[in-house]
Chain A
């Protein structure tokens, strides 16, 4: 029994899984509406965009960098995809492809600037984030694009029982990311650079290449999140992404990623997004002041960081 316990506690996301299960059980008992088909749909749909946003930051934390421009980038891509479809009448799939490419290019710009200028990635992405937001607002004058193709909007609203169509995207992305970081050379190189940039360089890896690749991937994921947000809302709001900053850091960090780089957990990030979604859902079901979500998110980050350190010390002593 003791051995089982110590094995479970070594799995980084075991605690999160336990908390999520407890939260689901508690909500089922307290609120009969929780397991209703519609509520399950609403809950699952709220996770889709957050998951991609969290992954977008998680990739950056993997190489030991951070990306403050995720929200602005997602918002810009949302406006691009909306503008292409509404103003220029581009069909759905090409519009999505162009928008994804734009996100990837924006990520490349972030990466290139970070590597070539040697300026701290924090400042670079703070600046480019401001620039992306400026382009977004300058183009749209803060007016959303409403006339989107019917098939696109239908996909965003569609569901199979309690499962929203949109959930397909983050699930596929999750599987791809697991494969990417555990099985591909590029993914392993990124984590090696994040873990110890100097050692990686001495082993013949190029930290600069890994950082640029991570930024491009982060841009792609943020772009996917932006497009998904448009599909979910049914309109391309310029304000998309404005509130992504906290969740983008909260989920990977609660999920066990180290800010120093080299250590990330995709399942942990996924469970953290689920937990945050459960908290938001509980606030609605129990008719609690929604402002509590902001408060609890802060408390959760602090608790998770503290717990991770505590566990690291415990496991290290064993």
Chain B
């Protein structure tokens, strides 16, 4: 017999409340999601219809990738307000490459990803070289990027994209939309990055404590730049997925509209704004929650106008609950000690 583990608690502690207390943020989110789905599908049978689930899946896929784009920068303790601006630039670049230059689709995808990476690289370099707060730099660069895009394209949408783009946006493997598969694949790649690679650990180390990371030999400047390059690429990926979903490249679809969703998914999912902690699964669940609220309001015919109010309230409630839970866990531990 070894020493008794503290986890082997009496059975009364395995109540739902206890599980919620000791489980992770992500588990709590999952419970909230399941409750919402049960309630919504019992009130409105249309919620679980194949049509609604399909449209939910396609929109959540894009929200997930937008959330990832913010998450990788949050990991280093910075933020990227230019996610939306890089998004619209990528939407228009993708449209231009396909429609005006007539590039083959794989080449256009690669070029757009490269452009997103380049814009992220500019952000990263500006932050590292000047030492200015990432908030100010990306606020300014968002203005620069979207201004340049508007000057160059005059905000005229590209409507005559190759039909394959729109077909991919509608495609599905069984009941699962192709866009969602892309988002999940990106999620798996990011999970591996943060869990199992040196770069991922370095990103988190810089976010936890820049000074400590530097002293342990982590190249802080390079790591922050890489985070922004990744963020730019993810924003470009989200932009192309959005283009596929709409089957057209329009400049009005991103920009400021991405600011809130980009923070909602990771922050609700338990990614710390101070840096050093990310949750890929949490971001996915956070995006699911946002899309569920949106879809639920539509199904219940509350009207889209109230949506921002619900999103804001949910964001606050989610963070408050998490704080409260952390407090309870701490008290529980102190009592047991």
Contact = CB atoms under 8 A, between A and B. Distances in A.
A175 interface: no
B240 interface: no
Contact of A295 (B151, B306, B309, B315): B151
A293 B136 CA distance: 18
Interface stretch (A11-19, A133-141, A150-158): A133-141
Given A134-B306, A259-B135, A301 B316 contact: no
A123 B141 contact: no
Interface string B305-319: 111111111011001
Contacts of B307: 134
A141 B302 CA distance: 12
Nearest to B309: A134
Contacts of B312: 126-134
A142 B305 contact: yes
Contact of B310 (A117, A134, A242, A306): A134
Nearest to B143: A298
A180 interface: no
A309 B132 contact: yes
Contacts of A301: 136, 139-140, 143
Given A128-B312, A259-B133, A291-B150, 5 more contacts: A246-B139, A294-B150, A295-B148, A301-B140, A309-B131
B332 interface: no
A13 to B, nearest CB: 18
Contacts of B141: 298, 302
Contact of B143 (A142, A294, A309): A294
Interface in A284-302: 289, 291-299, 301-302
Nearest to A295: B147
Nearest to A302: B140
Most buried by B among A118, A123, A127, A302: A127
B301 to A, nearest CB: 13
Q: Provide the main secondary structure of the chain B interface.
A: helix
Interface of A: 66, 113, 117-120, 122-124, 126-135, 137-138, 141-142, 242, 245-246, 249-250, 253, 259-260, 289, 291-299, 301-302, 305-306, 309
Interface string B136-174: 110111111111101100110000000000000000000
B30 interface: no
Contacts of A309: 130-132
A14 B48 CA distance: 64
Contacts of A119: 316, 319-320, 323
B263 A126 contact: yes
B305 A141 contact: yes
Contact of B139 (A124, A128, A132, A249): A249
A101 B146 CA distance: 36
A216 to B, nearest CB: 19
Q: Provide the main secondary structure of the chain A interface.
A: helix
A251 to B, nearest CB: 12
14 contacts: A127-B315, A130-B309, A131-B309, A134-B308, A246-B142, A259-B135, A291-B150, A292-B151, A293-B147, A296-B147, A299-B140, A301-B136, A302-B137, A305-B137
A130 B260 contact: yes
Interface in B106-149: 126, 130-133, 135-137, 139-148
B148 A131 contact: no
A120 B275 CA distance: 12
A318 B26 CA distance: 54
7 nearest interchain CB pairs? A134-B309, A295-B147, A298-B143, A130-B312, A131-B312, A298-B144, A294-B147
A258 B142 CA distance: 20
Given A123-B267, A135-B309, A141-B305, A298 B319 contact: no
Contacts of A126: 259-260, 263, 312, 315
A300 B263 CA distance: 26
A65 to B, nearest CB: 12
Nearest to A129: B312
Nearest to A131: B312
Contact of A306 (B130, B135, B147, B311): B130
A295 B143 contact: yes
Contact of A131 (B144, B267, B305, B308): B308
A120 B267 CA distance: 11
Given A134-B309, A298-B141, A127 B316 contact: yes
Contacts of A132: 312
Nearest to A124: B316
Interface in B13-71: none
A99 B79 CA distance: 34
A253 B136 contact: yes
B311 A134 contact: yes
A305 B142 CA distance: 15
Interface in B311-337: 311-313, 315-316, 319-320, 323
Contacts of B305: 134, 137-138, 141-142
A120 B311 contact: no
B273 A122 contact: yes
Given A126-B263, A130-B260, A134-B306, A113 B147 contact: no
Interface in B234-287: 256, 259-260, 263, 267, 273-274
Given A123-B315, A297-B147, A301-B143, A245 B256 contact: yes
A298 B140 contact: yes
A246 B144 CA distance: 11
A123 B132 contact: no
A119 B309 CA distance: 19
A128 B316 contact: yes
A127 B312 CA distance: 4
Given A126-B263, A137-B308, A291-B147, A117 B323 contact: yes
Given A123-B319, A124-B316, A292-B151, A305 B260 contact: no
